[in-house]
Chain A
Amino acid sequence: MDHVVSAVEALCAACGSTLAPDARFCETCGARIEPVEPEAPPEPDDVASAGAGGVGTAAAACVACGGQIAPDGYCVQCGRPATSPRDHWVEQPSPLVGGVCDRGVRHSRNEDAMALAGGDGYALLVVCDGVSSAPDSDVASMAAAKAALAVLEQGVAGGARAVTGSGTGRTAAWSGLLAEAAAAGDAAITAAFTELAHDVEPPSCTFVAGVVDGAHIVVGWLGDSRAYWMPDDAVPQQLSADDSGAAELMAQGVARAQAETSPVAHAITRWLGPDAPDTTARTTTTTVHGPGWLLVCSDGLWNYCSPADELADLLRATAADQGGDPALTAGALVTWANAQGGRDNVTVALARVEPPVSVRSDSLTAPTDLN
């Protein structure tokens, strides 16, 4: 517990400024800092009677400071409300694949969703961003992400429709599965909301899915959630191309910075949902030649760092801080986005891509069934 408590950002009681660790006086206002001993866990009596309407997760830890969540639903240390699992969760299906989906700061609901899978030589990352003007978009995005991942999982080795072959045949098969995955996501929304399909504004969400298969990356999308390829030693690139007002403006020659801040920047032109005019995912394929990261994210992240080269710098620095762990790195990027204001829900999914070493360099350990 100690190591958690010591990580709490200390604030000056007099002026609220952040304090240096072990500071004895506040550098901003000069107030003397009384050392705060880590609070002992409340006595059972306190916990039992501290208030009704508890969330039933008395032992849960606060995501803000690591303190204990009291039955009244707030941290005993910093007072932040307990987050519901839908508001913030972490997935790490394999050592090389991880992601964090978070409500952000400004929104009261998390309408982002993600579904991840990973294993020997492959990674599947799906992110959907619910359109917040439509009710129940949080449910829609979750249903879509899960349905899409289920389709993609059929394509991995041992799956019902395992992708076989090599080269363009192999990537084309993945492209086909990505299109099917988007369609399955769309169907899942409609199935869950048949009674709402005629509403003025039915639930809807964006879709982006990235597949890592050995040295191949195949990406499919609708809307403005993005996939980036961030190689360690080469030029990073945005693989997806937004279906958004901003992208249309840029296509007309408006500069990126101006386009992305225009009033129509975030109006998406394609999406999943009962009122979507077209649910055919666009796809693109890349073959990588060295290690790097596949980043799939919602606009809650890229709003604060859109250009691929800047985002790659941020990712590389963050990953270095986190020892290269994909889930920790995703979590740190979410924290970073929230520190920038957290104006939207934030989802960051990462797959570490380490393409098979070429046969000629080491014939003993390299897999020979790829490429």
Chain B
Amino acid sequence: MAVFTAEVFQNEFMADGATDVHAIVTVTSSGAGAAGASGAGVAEIVMIDSSGSMAGPNLDAAKYAAQVAVDQIADGTWFAIVSGSHVAARVFPYPNAALDMVQMEQGARAEAKRAIGRIAATGGTAMSTWLLLADRLFATVPQARQRHAILLTDGKNESEPRHALSDAVRRVTGHFQCDARGVGSRWEVEELREISTALLGGLELIADPNEIAADFRALVQRSMARGVADAELRVWVPQGGQTLFVRQVSPTVEDLTARRTEVNALTGAYPTGSWGDEQRDYHVAVRVASKPVGTEQLAARVQIAVDGQVLASGLVKARWSDDASLTARISPEVAHYTGQAELASAIQEGLAARAAGDEATATVKLGRAVQLAQETGNDEATSRLRRVVEIDDATEGTVRLKRDVARLDEMALDTASTKTTRVKR
């Protein structure tokens, strides 16, 4: 049984009349064990792009990577392999098999690898069909409550209207988790981000097809090491209070605010997916009615619940004071992650403005991003930004847009924009 702990970082002292309380809650899990440790079945689907554009080294690398992934899927795990173009096809179990998913064992592993080897590149790209097929396959194994998929593509979702993908993402959200991978530079960051964000997965750009196999190996290994099938973050606010936002801020920035489901009138639950032994940070902001100086009150209970059972609880407090030396201090954790979240949106907005030809806005936004990356010590973001802008003064955020930017560099910056560095403690 996994053990969760929750630790709260905040300045609980509020100036007279103040209403908004911010806190960073660090949730740590340990002893999660292997996937399926809790008794829930595990299911894994690998979706690889088999559209015409994949022909050549990309498809060869993707097929090899899928075979490597199959090697990593633990015996007993329900699995399937899907190839996707403008339609989706079940590659394994074979299309004529009675079962949509089978449990991994030696024979199935060998047969699946053989089936993957026969995938050929043809057709266009309609990722909604891939997601809907995966959803239908997962639905045949209700006993497998921990469901994970990998989606790999190299191109744009060009064979269907844009909303078809969004509709499919909405339909399958909450049914399984999905990591998205884009190989090369011809796919759309925004399309895959929509998938990975909604399906509680990660997004990576793989520049060199030869790196796909290593990435798939790591992905499946991580999935197989997630012993907690599904955990939810719960936020209680006092009567009359209001949750302003709930945001995962580490390892990546993901806004969870809109994903609230009600536990009771005062408590909302936010999905966090499966957990291995790991640590994630959440930024919770709540608004409570201001109280007289001297009053203490609980502003939020931030809890981790698995199967409806609360396993850890962090208390966010508010204490009104007229001592400015106490109330003026900003928690370094809150400041750090506020900056990191702004960094992510500054990068995304800056790149979007540049793509739209609005160079003035792009310069301001990317300049702000350079400034924030410097302030929060996110050196990786700084080096990625450096490939897109000339930095005149990082402290002031003065930059010039580079004239000739490799699309891959721009995509790498965009893809990694939500990655945060941890606060130095």
Q: Give the interface of A toward B (CB within 8 A).
A: 8, 10-14, 16, 36-37, 39-40, 43, 45-46, 49-51, 65, 70, 72, 74-81, 104-107, 341-342
Contact = CB atoms under 8 A, between A and B. Distances in A.
Contacts of B295: 105
A72 B300 CA distance: 12
B221 interface: no
Interface in B262-309: 264-266, 287-290, 292-299, 301, 303, 308-309
A51 B315 contact: yes
A40 B290 contact: no
B371 to A, nearest CB: 33
Given A10-B239, A70-B301, A79-B238, 11 more contacts: A10-B240, A39-B266, A43-B308, A45-B308, A51-B301, A72-B298, A77-B238, A77-B239, A77-B266, A105-B292, A105-B295
A46 B267 CA distance: 12
Contacts of A51: 301, 313, 315
B396 to A, nearest CB: 38
A8 B292 contact: no
A74 B266 contact: no
B241 interface: yes
B327 interface: no
A13 B294 contact: no
Contacts of A50: 301, 303, 310, 313
B240 A49 contact: no
Contacts of B311: 49
Nearest to A35: B265
Contact of A16 (B240, B294, B296, B313): B240
Interface string B219-249: 0000000000000000011111110000000
B294 A107 contact: yes
A29 to B, nearest CB: 12
B19 interface: yes
Interface string B304-343: 0000111111010000000000000000000000000000
Residue from B237, B241, B301, B311 having most chain A Cβ neighbours under 10 A? B301
Nearest to B308: A45
Contacts of B292: 105-106, 341-342
A46 B266 CA distance: 14
B289 A106 contact: no
A313 B299 CA distance: 38
18 contacts: A13-B287, A16-B240, A49-B309, A49-B311, A50-B303, A51-B313, A51-B315, A74-B297, A75-B298, A79-B288, A79-B298, A79-B299, A80-B296, A81-B296, A105-B294, A106-B292, A341-B292, A342-B292
B298 A81 contact: yes
Contacts of B237: 79
Nearest to A46: B310
Contacts of A39: 264-266
B366 to A, nearest CB: 35
9 closest A-B pairs by beta carbon, nearest first, are: A11-B240, A16-B289, A79-B238, A79-B298, A106-B294, A74-B298, A51-B313, A79-B297, A11-B289
A216 B311 CA distance: 62
B257 to A, nearest CB: 15
Contacts of A104: 294
Given A106-B293, A106-B294, A72 B315 contact: yes
A12 B289 CA distance: 8
Instruction: Name the prevailing secondary structure of the A interface residues.
Output: loop
A77 to B, nearest CB: 5
Nearest to A9: B240
A356 to B, nearest CB: 45
Contacts of A75: 238, 298
Given A49-B311, A78-B239, A16 B288 contact: yes
Contacts of B265: 36-37, 39
A79 B294 contact: no
Contact of A14 (B242, B297, B301, B308): B242
Contacts of A10: 239-240
Contacts of B266: 36, 39, 76-77
A106 B308 CA distance: 39
Contacts of B293: 105-106
Nearest to B294: A106
Contacts of A11: 239-240, 289
A199 to B, nearest CB: 27
Contact of B264 (A16, A40, A78, A105): A40
A71 to B, nearest CB: 9
A341 B313 CA distance: 32
Nearest to A19: B240
Contacts of A46: 310
Contact of A12 (B240, B294, B309): B240
A36 B241 CA distance: 11
B166 to A, nearest CB: 29
A74 B19 contact: no
Residue from B290, B293, B311 having most chain A Cβ neighbours under 10 A? B293
B161 to A, nearest CB: 36
Nearest to B289: A16
Nearest to A338: B292
Contacts of B288: 16, 79
Nearest to A106: B294
A106 B320 CA distance: 10
A14 B19 CA distance: 11
Contacts of B301: 50-51, 70, 72, 74
Contacts of B315: 51, 72, 74
Interface string B162-194: 000000000000000000000000000000000
Interface in B187-232: none
A104 to B, nearest CB: 8
A81 B310 contact: no
A72 B241 CA distance: 19
Given A8-B239, A13-B241, A72-B313, A81 B294 contact: no
B309 A45 contact: yes
A81 to B, nearest CB: 6
Contacts of A12: 240
Given A45-B310, A72-B315, A342 B239 contact: no
A45 B312 CA distance: 12
Contacts of B303: 50
A107 B240 CA distance: 25
Given A10-B240, A77-B238, A16 B310 contact: no
Contact of A49 (B287, B298, B313): B313
B1 to A, nearest CB: 12
B243 to A, nearest CB: 10
Contacts of B309: 45, 49
B266 to A, nearest CB: 6
Contacts of B19: 16
A28 to B, nearest CB: 11
Nearest to A340: B292
A74 B12 CA distance: 15
Contact of A13 (B240, B290, B312, B313): B240
Residue from A8, A39, A40 having most chain B Cβ neighbours under 10 A? A39
B302 to A, nearest CB: 11
Residue from B264, B296, B298, B309 having most chain A Cβ neighbours under 10 A? B298
